[in-house]
Amino acid sequence: MNKSPKILVIDDDPDFRAAVTPILKSALYDVVMASNPQEAKEKILVDKPDLILLDIMMDSLFDGFSLCHAIKTSAEFKDFKDTPIIFVSAVKEIAGSRFQFKGDEEGMVGPDDYIDKPVKPDDLLARIAKFLKK
Amino acid sequence: MAEKPIILVIDDEDAMRDSCSQILAKDGFRAETAENGHVGLEKARDLKPALALIDLKMPGLSGFEVLERIKAIDPGIIPIVITGYATVESAVEAMKKGAYDFLPKPFTPDELRIIIRRALERRKLAFEAESLRREKKVMEENFITMVSHQLRSPLVAVQQYFEVILAGMVGSVEDTQKDMMLRARERLERLLHLINDWLDMARISRGQIVDKLKPLALDKLLDRQVEFMKPLALEFRVGLELRPAEGPALVLGDEQSLEQVFSNLITNAIKYNKPDGSVTITIRAEDHTILTEVTDTGIGISREHLPLVFDQFYRVSRREDQKLKGTGLGLAIAKKIVEAHNGSIEVASELGRGSTFSVRLPKAEPEDK
């Protein structure tokens, strides 16, 4: 591949988007941003990212999960169902229990990987590289 | 309520069913009848009645059996027993088995009406209490999750900037700058810990653990904890050993919160130890409890400090040791969790020799599922 892989960062926090950009640029990735699920959907179809970093908790907890599920299963995004999605989140607990993604139980398709905020630059780049090498 | 409350009359006597139906229909209820226990249970399942009038003496399935099974079908159904042999014993037994009240035969229409009215009132109150309880719980849970998110987000954003700057990704950083930023990051880290611990405290006070109790193999949980703690023990040059009980150590517990308890106790035992010291975790089965002792050979706690270790924000060591970071809430959280399990936690210690924390948790009996 001659072109640099493109990464879509979906997060409603402008500071996170600002901070994560230099990390991704340092590894020569193209970076595209979206601050809400609607914008994210448009960017996926227009910019065709190679990998997606998705914040779980935007306005509500449901946003991240349902967006992920939509990308992985809906006809609209059928060209992107194999695009790796990495959940990024500062949420450690949800409603009283330690956070665990229980996609199967909810009948939802989960992410390919998942990383805690604040992300360690090396860790993030290593995880991204793992998916994009193939 | 727009819909008529359904009242199910389970009685083998035709006359009883007819007269009850008449009285109830006249009072604006929908009366349904069943001539025996089996039909009665079936109708209870299908019709979801508000109340059930159950004759105690029926051929086949007895009234007592119907009483027990109807509770399992829907605990919201209020059962009232009708008894022709109104002895104190049968009434008491029926009440023990969950009957709301009893009606001795023969009874007048007014006696029936009074009891029905009271039972419906009681059902309404029970419903209201239950829905309030649920609403309150959901609100509390959402509130804690939102507070957690709101408090953590800005701190995490600041940390994220530090990560990027410290990684040299936005220009080179001088050593003094780096040093200060590392310290700043460390302070933020502690603040995040404090927020987490504080939210844990808030959560445990709200008694959410009780809902999640189930039989749990404590030996396996501790085995995982010990495995997980080995790197830390190595770092502090402390030996770490688990001595399991003979046979299974099944407790009634919530896995995640018990992990938190023992992770806290074992971490303390390692960190407040001496180099080349040891931490021993012993599991023993007692009559109704499982006892877990976490023993260290560390600095110990003096007698005057001992009663205070489970207090919030109390810390034995006040020195600013980088390695001994904590919020002072760990043991207070551990105590709250253990007590929410109906267990107990105690400490014995000798200054300079070490401490033993003993946790007793109720055994899970085979019938607890």
Distance from CA of A28 to the nearest CA of B (A): 12
A118 CB neighbours in chain B (<8 A) are 156, 159-160, 162-163
- What distance in Å separates residue A101's CA from the closest CA in chain B? 15
Neighbours of B220 (CB within 10 A): 13
- Range name among A63-67, B108-112, B122-126 with the lowest pLDDT average: A63-67
Average pLDDT, chain B: 86
**How confident is the model over B88-113, as pLDDT tens digits?**
788 888 888 888 988 888 888 899 99
Chain A residues in contact with B172 by the CB 8 A cut-off are none
A134 touches chain B (CB under 8 A): no
Task: Judge: A16–B162 Cβ closer than 8 Å, yes or no.
Answer: no
Closest chain A residue to the Cα of B202, Cα to Cα: A96
Is the ipTM higher than 0.85? The answer is no
Which ranges of chain B would DSSP assign to H, the alpha helix?
Answer: 14-26, 37-47, 63-73, 88-96, 109-166, 175-205, 218-235, 255-271, 330-340
Residue A98 contacts B where some CB pair is shorter than 8 Å: yes
Residues of A with CB below 8 A from B196's CB?
A: 92-93
**Interatomic CA distance for residues B70 and B39, integer angstroms:** 12
- Residue B342: CB atoms within 10 A of its CB come to 13
pLDDT of residue A95: 36
pLDDT in tens, B216-251: 999 999 999 999 899 999 999 999 999 998 888 899
pLDDT at B51 over 50: yes
Confidence class for position A106, pLDDT limits 50, 70, 90: low
Q: Which residue of B has its CA nearest to A100?
A: B256
pLDDT at A91 over 80: no
In the prediction, which pLDDT does B1 show?
45
pTM (2 d.p.): 0.56
Residue of B192, B277, B285 whose CA lies nearest to B243: B285
How many beta-carbon pairs under 8 angstroms link A with B? 69
> How do residues B266-320 score in pLDDT, each as one tens digit?
999 998 888 899 999 999 999 889 999 999 998 888 888 888 888 877 665 554 4
Three-class SS state of A101: coil
